[in-house]
C-alpha cells in the first residue's frame, strides 16, 4: 500500500496550473471586434475573459442607471480587472465610458491597451476615454501597448492590480456620457 509521501517521492508533486485571472474586456464592438477576437484567441488560455457581447443589443432600456447596474452586476462583478482595448474611436463610445465607470465603482483594476495601428494625435498621444484618462493621470489606471505575448500581458495586468491597491486615486467624478460621439 503506497502512501502519499511515497507517491510524491516517485512521481514528484502534481503540476500546478497557473490561476486564470478573471478579466472583463471593454471595447468598441463595431470598430474593434476583430481585435477583440484576436486578443481572446491569443490569451484565453491564460485568462478567464468576461465581456459584454455588445451591450447595445443585450440590455434593452433607456434607463441609464438600470443599464449601469446591469453592467456592474452581470459583467464587472466576478472579475478583478477591466481591460479597455483602445482603438481610434473607442473614446467616443458611451458604453465604454459606462463600463469604466462601473469598474471604478467596484474598485477593480483598470488597464488600457493600445490597439496596434491606432493613429496618434498631433502631439503623439493616443486619444482615450476621458474617464480612463482621468484615472491614468491620478495614477490609478495602467497603460500599455499591444502585448506581444502572455508574459508581457501578465506584467501589465500585475502592474494594474498593484495600482488598484490605492482606491483613493480613483476619479469617477466625471458625468456619464449621455450619447456616443459621432
Distance CA 102, CA 65 (A): 11
**pLDDT on residue 1:** 47
Exposure string for 97-116, b = 16+ CB within 10 A, e = fewer? bbbbbbbbebebbbbbbbbe
- Mean pLDDT for the chain overall: 86
Distance CA 89, CA 108 (A): 24
Domain 17-169 in CATH 3.40.50.450? The answer is: yes
Distance CA 26, CA 24 (A): 7
pLDDT at 18 over 50: yes
Alpha-helix runs per DSSP H in the chain: 4-11, 29-43, 55-58, 64-70, 94-105, 130-137, 150-163
- Pick the residue with more confidence: 16 or 69? 69
Considering the entire predicted model, what is its pTM? 0.83
Distance CA 135, CA 172 (A): 8
Q: Are 67 and 59 in contact (CB under 8 A)?
A: yes
pLDDT in tens, 28-49: 999 999 999 999 889 888 888 7
Amino acid at each position: 500500500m503506497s502512501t502519499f509521501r511515497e507517491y510524491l517521492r516517485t512521481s514528484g508533486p502534481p503540476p500546478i496550473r497557473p490561476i486564470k485571472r478573471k478579466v472583463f474586456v471593454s471595447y468598441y464592438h463595431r470598430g474593434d471586434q476583430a481585435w477583440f477576437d484576436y486578443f481572446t484567441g491569443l490569451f484565453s488560455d491564460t485568462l478567464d475573459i468576461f465581456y459584454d457581447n455588445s451591450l447595445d443589443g443585450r440590455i434593452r432600456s433607456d434607463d441609464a442607471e438600470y443599464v449601469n447596474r446591469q453592467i456592474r452586476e452581470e459583467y464587472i462583478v466576478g472579475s478583478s480587472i477591466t481591460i479597455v482595448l483602445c482603438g481610434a474611436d473607442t473614446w467616443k463610445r458611451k458604453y465604454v465610458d459606462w463600463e469604466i465607470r462601473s469598474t471604478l465603482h467596484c474598485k477593480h483594476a483598470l488597464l488600457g491597451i493600445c490597439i496596434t495601428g491606432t493613429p496618434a494625435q498631433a502631439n503623439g498621444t493616443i486619444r482615450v476615454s476621458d474617464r480612463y484618462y482621468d484615472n491614468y493621470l491620478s495614477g490609478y489606471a495602467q497603460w500599455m501597448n499591444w502585448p506581444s505575448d502572455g508574459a508581457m500581458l501578465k506584467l501589465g495586468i500585475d502592474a494594474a492590480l498593484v495600482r488598484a491597491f490605492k482606491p483613493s486615486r480613483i476619479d469617477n467624478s466625471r458625468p456619464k456620457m449621455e450619447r456616443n460621439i459621432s
